[in-house]
Structure 1
Amino acid sequence: MRILTDSACDLPLAYLQQHEVTFFSLRVELDGHDYADITDIQAPSIYEALRLGKEPKTSQVSPDAFYETFEQMAKNGEEGVYIAFSSALSGTYATAVMMYEQVKESYPQFILHIIDSKSASLGQGLVVQEAVRVKESGATLDELVAHITAFAPRVEHIFVVDDLQHLARGGRISKSTAFVGGLLNIKPILEISKEGKIESLDKARGQKRAIKQMIAYMKERGVNLQQQMIGLLHCADDALLQELKQAIEAEFQPKGFVESNVGAVISSHVGLGTFAVFFQS
């Protein structure tokens, strides 16, 4: 049984390799060149580009990448589950489904469950980690799919961006929303909705108040936070992430933390100074 995902999950490459998770690279265009996320370009290159005022562009996983991997799995008699970037934010999920259907025409016995995680970044990453845990516990494919289908909608994404213009440029939010967010040091607090879309959740004056409000949403929505691994993510601001981590530790004493940097694709849309927390509701 193989677990597959894509580079939008923002999990470290070392983790994916250690647990034999196959990943598909979304694409990043920078300075006239096209790169495969993780394989050809990493987050620090995007951070530097953003500091210089450049505007990286992104695109979904190529159809050929899906087809080649799915066909090879079918030839080998493998089965698996692909945990995909939210279909509301990318065409990646739809392309994967289309390529699977094409492969299945030639290999009708091929079984691959494609799950729209309705998640992004480390929220998607937590779903992948849970899939790995369940697989390594000895679950069958059907048991794994049933568990992940129930688990994924419970993953909460709460994040703060320093500048909404990046999301507006990529079409993820409206320009009017971005304009309001840029006023008076207002820090927009956003979420990924149950439909997998970016939605405005709240706003705060400055980062410290934003952290307090993030903690308040964790109190309101979280379940058994003391037994959870909490996901923490930052975009070139580790000090801010540690401040958020200390606040969560003091309030909830969770089981532990999964910490990561915003990857090349996601950082192209959220910009520098973004920080986020991911947990189960």
Structure 2
Amino acid sequence: MADYVLVTDGTADLPGRYFEELGIEVVPMEFLMGETSYQHYSDAREMSFDEFYTRLKAGEKVSTTQINYYTYEKVFTPILEKGLDILYLCFSSGLSGTYQASLLAAETLMEKYPGRKIVSIDTLCASIGEGLLVYRAGQMKKAGMSMKELEAWVYENRLKVRHWFVVDDLEHLRQGGRISAAAAILGTALGVKPLLSVDTEGKLVNTAKLRGNKKILETFCQKIETDGYKSSEQTVIVGHAANPEMAAKLKETLLERGLIGDAIVADIGPIIGSHVGAGMCALVYTSDKDLVKE
């Protein structure tokens, strides 16, 4: 049986060293800022996180696109030419058309390389939630799990990932159609920040309104305490969009209370950052229960 490579995309906001350690390939994703198009890689080689958020806060407009066939071909072809199969964990179909594009690319490339297999899975996860699922999958692969076994594991666990995001800049949510203009203006005036999550269809949902960092920290702690599976043994991911102080405080609080085993702190990249704006802070972990459609 042929060996395989685990692949994900640029929205899986996991620090690059973890992809390297686990042998995971990453398909870059494109964003347009000013008049220039950039590819976002996990090491932010074409634009640093600092530069991106500095320019975003200065009012520059950003647009993003789904991954096209030629980008998939560039990443997948060298793997296939080595006689290896591909297990691709893709950004949520509830937030992008990338998954459908990956299926078309996989079909074309498997015709070009008969005998090779490309399996694309809709993770129904986003940002560091996708990153956490990929991280755990990478550990399973490194431990010797076969491609078929890992495919089954991902399907079994993708709805066990819990996403919690608090957004600081409501204007980007308004521009993306997530909240109304009136809600953005009122929320900004009152200092209210929405608590967002991801539902069973991989779509972003607004679950609550929070005011003040103390309330935000307490809410994150309460969420993992009630819904995390053996959370005191888990390595979770804390993500931030140019808000390292809040991320560090969240990690410190979770550790002090014995709610987690450890936390990876991750920068939120331009693909997600363009939609949530600077200041966002997030926590993802796993539960022992699937999300339930409400």
Which one of 57, 60, 73 corresponds to residue 63 of structure 2? 57
2:260 matched to 1:257? Answer: no
Asked whether the 8 Å contact 1:43–1:267 carries over to 2, the reply is no
Asked whether the 8 Å contact 2:233–2:261 carries over to 1, the reply is yes
Cα drift, residue 66 of structure 1: 0.9
Between 105-114 and 85-94, report the one with greater CA deviation: 105-114
2:290 corresponds to:
none
* 1:11-58 CA-partner distances (Å, limit 9, x unpaired): 122322333211111111111100001242232221111221212211
Q: Alignment identity in percent?
A: 30
Which one of 13, 18, 33 corresponds to residue 15 of structure 1? 18
Which one of 220, 224, 232 corresponds to residue 230 of structure 2? 224
2:195 corresponds to:
189
- Tell me: CA distance 1:177–1:111, structure 2 relative to 1, closer, same or farther (3 Å): farther
2:208 corresponds to:
202
Asked whether the 8 Å contact 1:26–1:62 carries over to 2, the reply is no
2:104 matched to 1:101? Answer: no
1:30 corresponds to:
33
State the number of aligned residues. Answer: 281
Q: Please give the alpha-carbon distance, in whole angstroms, between the structure 1 residues aligned to 2:181 and 2:225.
A: 31
Between 258-267 and 15-24, report the one with greater CA deviation: 15-24
- In structure 1, runs of 5+ residues without a counterpart are none
Q: Secondary structure at the match of 1:9?
A: coil
Q: Secondary structure at the match of 2:190?
A: coil
Asked whether the 8 Å contact 1:29–1:35 carries over to 2, the reply is yes
TM-score by length of 1: 0.93
Asked whether the 8 Å contact 1:164–1:178 carries over to 2, the reply is yes
Map 1:1-281 → 2, pairs under 5 A: 1-38=4-41, 39-175=45-181, 177-281=183-287
- In structure 2, runs of 5+ residues without a counterpart are 288-294
* 1:207-254 CA-partner distances (Å, limit 9, x unpaired): 221221222222222121111111101111211112212221233342
* 1:91-144 CA-partner distances (Å, limit 9, x unpaired): 111111111111223334221211111111111111111111011101111111
Q: Please give the alpha-carbon distance, in whole angstroms, between the structure 1 residues aligned to 2:26 and 2:251.
A: 28
TM-score by length of 2: 0.89
Asked whether the 8 Å contact 2:225–2:259 carries over to 1, the reply is no
RMSD of aligned Cα (Å)? 1.8
- Tell me: CA distance 1:50–1:68, structure 2 relative to 1, closer, same or farther (3 Å): closer
